Amino acid sequence: MSDVLVVAEHRRGEIRDVSYEAVTAGRELADARGGDLHVAAIAGDVDAFAEDLNREGVDAIHTVGNGEEFDHNVYQTAVAALLDRTDADTVVTPNSVNGLDYAPAVAENRGIPLVTDAIGFEYDGGLTVTREMYGSKVETTVDVDGDRHVLTIRGGEWPAAEGVGDAAVESVEVDLPESGARVTGFEEVGGGDVDIADAEVLVSVGRGIEEEENLGLVEDLADALGATLSSSRPIVDNGWLPKNRQVGQSGKVVTPDVYIAIGISGAVQHVAGMKGSDTIVAVNTDPNAPIFDIADYGVVGDLFEVVPELIDEFA
């Protein structure tokens, strides 16, 4: 019992990138434990997914063809069935909205220790997971009891698995219990007059702006620079800007020529949406803000002093 089961995630017929990263993480763990790597493709066009997921290092792929999209009842049931029928005792899956909708239930149901949002791990007779705390201000190492684990991994921390493997593919039938949660549809949000993904220059505002009435300052900056205004999540949560202006994991992914982050700390969910920008400029009062880790140019300073001067430069 030292095999690892990676549960892939897909949406609308596409395997999500983080699934291939989970394959890499799963292979590392299986190697350290001397076990095989199993990958599960659950729901949707599982035969096509199995072909996509057959990357180097994958020993077996199990397909469970119930339903089209994610449903936690299907995932919980299928993963439990695969833990029963294979030698896998450890589950690795993306730390995504859907991953967090079923993985904790699997861990609870099987009595297996759970560690979410892993950014690294080592296995040396026992598992030690690296994860962040206090809003990314610190990293911790966490020793996990036992040899069975459920791990959810953060996207972008492992390279995607590549190459073509020679995994055996098997189709698995599962009996689904009655579920009291039914997916009835999907909705695209954040449409509207402006598509920030099209902008060449974005002025993006975050919590540092403090009050809604201060937004005029960054609007003036955007005007002065001929830029489009976007924001991090709290600004949209507060209702100060519409959802179509939100950059990040749950908003838009943007790749402008120039991204100017004003009062944005750079939480991982935000960075996921803008790290592909050509040039990143950040203004923040906190010298330790993670936004400076990905910025090309940084200003540690008060936006209420710097921004008016910058507007004057372009006036």
* Residues of this chain, 231-290, that bind other proteins according to CB under 8 A: 233-234, 236-239, 243, 249-253, 257-258, 260, 278-279, 281-282, 286, 288
Minimum gap (Å) between residue 238 Cβ and other proteins: 8
Please list every residue from 147 through 206 that binds other proteins, using CB under 8 A.
179-190, 201
Kindly give, in sequence order, each residue whose CB lies less than 8 Å from that of residue 289, ignoring residues fewer than 6 positions away: 265, 266, 282
Question: Of the candidates 56, 132, 157, 220, which one interacts with other proteins according to CB under 8 A?
Answer: 132
Q: Is 10 in the site for other proteins (CB under 8 A)?
A: no
Kindly give, in sequence order, each residue whose CB lies less than 8 Å from that of residue 8, ignoring residues fewer than 6 positions away: 15, 16, 19, 22, 23, 39, 40, 41, 42, 49, 53
> Quick one: 20 or 167, whose CB is closer to other proteins?
20
Minimum gap (Å) between residue 224 Cβ and other proteins: 6
Contact between residue 48 and residue 61 where contact means Cβ atoms under 8 Å apart? no
Please list every residue from 16 through 55 that binds other proteins, using CB under 8 A.
none
Please list every residue from 75 through 94 that binds other proteins, using CB under 8 A.
none
Minimum gap (Å) between residue 235 Cβ and other proteins: 10
> Quick one: 163 or 315, whose CB is closer to other proteins?
315
Report the distance separating Cα 90 and Cα 92, nearest Å: 7
DSSP for 21-83, please give it: HHHHHHHHHHHHHT--EEEEEESSSHHHHHHHH--TT--EEEEE--SSS--HHHHHHHHHHHH
Minimum gap (Å) between residue 182 Cβ and other proteins: 5
Contact between residue 103 and residue 93 where contact means Cβ atoms under 8 Å apart? yes
Minimum gap (Å) between residue 71 Cβ and other proteins: 9
Minimum gap (Å) between residue 143 Cβ and other proteins: 5
Point out which residues pair with 63 in neighbouring strands: 41, 171
> Quick one: 175 or 184, whose CB is closer to other proteins?
184
> Quick one: 166 or 184, whose CB is closer to other proteins?
184
> Quick one: 51 or 237, whose CB is closer to other proteins?
237
The residue among 70, 50, 73, 71 whose CA lies nearest residue 62 is 50
Please list every residue from 98 through 127 that binds other proteins, using CB under 8 A.
98, 100-105, 107-109, 111, 113-117
Report the distance separating Cα 117 and Cα 218, nearest Å: 33
> Quick one: 86 or 232, whose CB is closer to other proteins?
232
Kindly give, in sequence order, each residue whose CB lies less than 8 Å from that of residue 75, ignoring residues fewer than 6 positions away: 7, 42, 43, 98, 102, 106
Q: Is 223 in the site for other proteins (CB under 8 A)?
A: yes
Query: What crossing angle do the helices spanning 215-225 and 303-314 adopt, rounded to 10°?
Result: 30
Q: Which stretch binds other proteins (CB under 8 A): 28-36, 46-54, 84-92, 142-150?
A: 142-150
Total binding residues for other proteins by CB under 8 A?
98
> Quick one: 169 or 207, whose CB is closer to other proteins?
207
